[in-house]
Copies of this chain bind each other. A is one copy, B any other.
Amino acid sequence: MTLNELKSVPHKRVTVDDVFWAPRIETNAKVTLPVEYEQLKKTARIDALKLDWKPGDENEPHKFWDSDIAKWIEAVGYSLGARPDPELEALVDSVIDMIGKAQQPDGYFNVHFTVVRPQDRWKNLRDDHELYCAGHLMEAAVAYFEGTGKRKLLDVMCRYANHIDSVFGPEEGKKRGYPGHEEIELALVKLYRATGEKRYLALSKFFIDERGAQPHYFDIEAKARGDDPKRFRFRDYSYNQSHIPVREQTEAVGHSVRAGYLYAGMADVAAETGDETLLDACRRIWRNMVEKRMYLTGGIGSSGQGERFSSDYDLPSETAYAETCAAIALVFFARRMLNIEGDGAYADVMERALYNGVISGISLDGRSFFYVNPLAAYPAAGARKAEGAGAPRREWFGCACCPPNIARLLASLGGYVYSEGENEARVDLYVAGKAEFDLGGHKVALEVKTEYPWKEKVAIKVAPESPTEFTLALRIPGWCRGAKLKVGGKPAGLPRITKKGYAKIKRKWKAGDRVELALPMPVERIESNPHVRQTAGRVAIQRGPVVYCLEEADNGKDLADVVLPKSSKLQVKAGGKLFGNGARAVVITGKAARRDPAGWKNELYRPAASKMKAITIKAIPYVLWANRGVGEMVVWVRSA
């Protein structure tokens, strides 16, 4: 049984031909994927697969290097489906050959734990990343199989999964352990879906069910190593979401990437097994996250100390961590909850992250990356300590999780746009292009024309193979008020047919039927809940799903001093040449004010006497910031 109302239409059946995404996906395939291979090669990750590292050599293979390669293979797997590239495919095949050769006779695969610390295999699930790397490799295997039809990596990873299944589980003689860094849970569900092997689903469920049980596995294994369980670098097990069993959890806690992957895996297992108590935990955690712990950009994990969620309503802008990977994990979780619940509220969050805090993680040229995505930047205030914090973006990181994560997200973006049910075709995001639906055996094609998110009109052409009755469900975004719908040129009463955020048009569709949707996108000022101390008295500019920011390049320094009067009318303009392959982006201008610095000398403080002077501000999409050099940036602007 499954709880899934809907399934994503896989990216292979979706064509993206879109002003926002298509240039990014193109750059990803042509620039980012080759560049990332070069980095993997240059940083010794690829050659480590030869297993010829010896103590004393340089470039000791790190315990999560495997995962960087895995995400890159996964990305290529997605990309090759849509864009054959024999050279790239040959390259990946050669890497997969190396992985195959490096697999141990019992099926085990991890470079670090084969050549650096073979004696430590499966001894420290809390801190080591064996299961995490395994999960990413399984995802890669499934993606590469689906993209190319080649089974090799899939077979290798099934053997590894079988090995893992022989080591972990509830049965006598197996370890009752689970990963310190979650990821394998959702990967095993993918492997199960790709192969039909139920053991993989059962193993994923085991990892989820066992998590946080007492006596605590991480204590047990620490003692077995001769370590004091209390000497845990991250203090308590909420860091890795194992402080209590997952079904008792109510808040999004700990390391935000671990959390997001776990929650996505929980949703998968709940859906596949019909586990309502697990789904309830997902719902509770989701609500806590999006109602109290999420940035306007869809960033999560506000604290750089442990890359963690902090406390309710603690959302600092300048010191925001908001790791790129965490926003991607949120997209995964949102997508799964959307498929289960069919509620547009999940799509709203997915869209928020995708159009803002995910893609801010990569430069327009596809060559550099943010690990950390703050909502305000003041470079003159000194470099942040966290690796990857602060502009400019970097070409690579010691901990290189984010670059290939963005690459796989972009390469599979089509998979987030549509979903399909027994008798329903859904449009979850408005991305120009085409899709092919399979509605219980009936083939239906959709063609979407739009310049979303910059323009408000969406035109959809419906083309079933043969005239068919089904429901076309169109998401009415949560940010949108006054949407208008025409079906076959005739106005349709949206309120009457809109349920859980989707307009549902049930009729007998025939080829050539047309639907037109208008999603008004006035420029809006957004305020945050009064409990969010860091953004009190401030507004963010948003238009449609796009969050805006002020950059120094357009507005000068000391952006904290800019005040946007409530009465100021904000106007939409074409961004044009500003942004290279983001050229269709819309910018926003308006009158504002800032203190006249003329009266200031050297004093740090003085009796308040400043005059304000009028200025004009220009706001650009947050997702495009830091593409014009290093400078200040603010999302939340003071309001008066």
Contact = CB atoms under 8 A, between A and B. Distances in A.
A507 interface: no
A603 to B, nearest CB: 7
Tally of this chain's copies: 2
Interface string A189-218: 000000000000000000000000000000
Contacts of A567: none
Interface in A376-397: 378, 380-382, 385
A594 B533 CA distance: 12
A296 B600 contact: no
Contact of A534 (B530, B560, B605, B606): B560
B378 A607 contact: no
A291 interface: yes
21 contacts: A294-B604, A296-B605, A305-B385, A314-B381, A318-B533, A526-B605, A526-B606, A526-B608, A527-B607, A527-B610, A528-B605, A529-B600, A530-B561, A530-B594, A530-B597, A530-B610, A536-B595, A536-B638, A537-B561, A537-B640, A540-B605
Contact of A536 (B560, B600, B602, B607): B560
A525 interface: yes
B291 A602 contact: yes
A527 B294 contact: no
A607 B524 contact: yes
Interface string A533-557: 1101101100000000000000000
Contacts of A527: 605-610
Nearest to A537: B638
Contact of A604 (B319, B528, B604, B605): B528
Nearest to A305: B385
A79 interface: no
A627 interface: no
A324 interface: no
A292 interface: yes
Given A527-B610, A536-B595, 9 more contacts: A313-B381, A378-B533, A381-B533, A525-B608, A526-B608, A528-B605, A533-B560, A608-B639, A640-B640
A563 interface: yes
Q: By CB atoms of chain B within 10 A, which of A537, A603, A606 has the most?
A: A537
Question: What 7 A-B pairs have minimum CB-CB distances, sorted nearest first?
Answer: A533-B560, A536-B560, A527-B608, A525-B608, A311-B382, A536-B561, A537-B638
Interface of A: 287, 290-292, 294, 296, 305, 310-314, 318-319, 378, 380-382, 385, 524-534, 536-537, 539-540, 558-561, 563, 566, 594-595, 597, 600, 602-610, 638-640
Contacts of A531: 558
A310 B383 CA distance: 10
Nearest to A563: B537
Q: By CB atoms of chain B within 10 A, which of A291, A560, A594 has the most?
A: A560
A296 B607 CA distance: 12
Contacts of A536: 558, 560-561, 595, 638
Nearest to A606: B527
